[in-house]
């Protein structure tokens, strides 16, 4: 998959997606991540890409033209454009699965008070990563790109690694344990040590239900 990120701060997204599984996915060519800076399309020599809001108020707004030019540079037939904004659709695993099927994605990161409203219609989807306000769309883009990249076939070495996990089946996952079996007086549940996979499966399903009931009953309602 190819992803172009339109941002005033490419390094912050690049660095957030350089380590561990996503870093490896980039190294192995599963994800080609490129950056375009609206500053490079500014009308002046200082690279101005933001301005004061009409009507007054605090903060700066990213100007439409430099963002538009950056988008024009990377947009191709078949590209799917996502604008990160707190007013967007709440990001979910279901949306991650649907974005993971695209060949080319473009992410537009607003910064400061966001982008000029006239950029919104250029996006195929406006996405929010939660009901809070970030200083910019960059951390949000990194979150979405991480969740999408791990779903690209081949990125996770075990083909079924994403099948049973939290949210894919609308339930929280059962708890995980690793060695040692006894840690500071706390034991790993015996069933996990027994090697009976039918029993383990059953235990995990029960735990997943229990946890979901306790922490996220809203997910169970959606399941029904």
Residues that bind ligand ADE (CB under 6 A): 84-86, 110, 128-130, 132-134, 136-137, 140
Cα(5)–Cα(70) distance, integer angstroms: 10
> Which one, 38 or 110, has the nearer CB to ligand ADE?
110
Cα(67)–Cα(38) distance, integer angstroms: 5
Q: Least separation, in Å, of the C-beta of 28 and ligand ADE?
A: 28
Q: Least separation, in Å, of the C-beta of 32 and ligand ADE?
A: 23
Q: Is 130 helix (H, G, I), strand (E, B) or coil?
A: coil
> Which one, 86 or 189, has the nearer CB to ligand ADE?
86
Q: Least separation, in Å, of the C-beta of 18 and ligand ADE?
A: 21
> Which one, 84 or 208, has the nearer CB to ligand ADE?
84
Q: Least separation, in Å, of the C-beta of 87 and ligand ADE?
A: 9
For residue 14, the tally of other CB atoms under 10 A from its CB is 17
Sign of CA dihedral 140, 143, 148, 154: positive
> Which one, 37 or 164, has the nearer CB to ligand ADE?
37
> Which one, 66 or 171, has the nearer CB to ligand ADE?
66
Sign of CA dihedral 219, 221, 222, 224: positive
| Cβ 219 vs Cβ 170: under 8 Å | yes
What is the Rg, in whole angstroms, of the alpha carbon atoms belonging to the chain? 21
Q: Least separation, in Å, of the C-beta of 138 and ligand ADE?
A: 8
């Amino acid at each position: 998959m190819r992803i172009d990120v339109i941002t005033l701060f490419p390094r912050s997204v690049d660095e957030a997606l350089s380590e561990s599984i996503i870093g490896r996915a980039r190294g192995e060519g599963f994800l080609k991540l490129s950056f375009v800076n609206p500053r490079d399309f500014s009308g002046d020599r200082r690279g101005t890409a933001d301005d004061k809001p009409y009507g007054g108020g605090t903060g700066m707004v990213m100007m439409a033209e430099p963002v538009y030019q950056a988008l024009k540079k990377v947009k191709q037939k078949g590209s799917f454009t996502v604008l990160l904004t707190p007013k967007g659709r709440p990001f979910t695993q279901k949306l991650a699965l649907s974005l993971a099927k695209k060949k080319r994605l473009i992410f537009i990161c607003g910064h400061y008070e966001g982008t000029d409203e006239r950029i919104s219609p250029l996006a195929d989807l406006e996405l929010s990563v939660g009901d809070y306000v970030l200083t910019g769309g960059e951390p949000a883009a990194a979150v979405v790109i991480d969740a999408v990249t791990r779903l690209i076939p081949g990125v996770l070495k075990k083909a079924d690694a994403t099948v049973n996990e939290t949210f894919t089946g609308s339930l929280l996952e059962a708890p995980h344990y690793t060695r040692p079996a006894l840690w500071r007086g706390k034991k790993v549940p015996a069933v996990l040590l027994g090697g009976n996979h039918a029993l383990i499966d059953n235990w995990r399903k029960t735990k997943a239900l229990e946890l979901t009931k306790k922490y996220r009953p809203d997910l169970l309602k959606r399941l029904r």
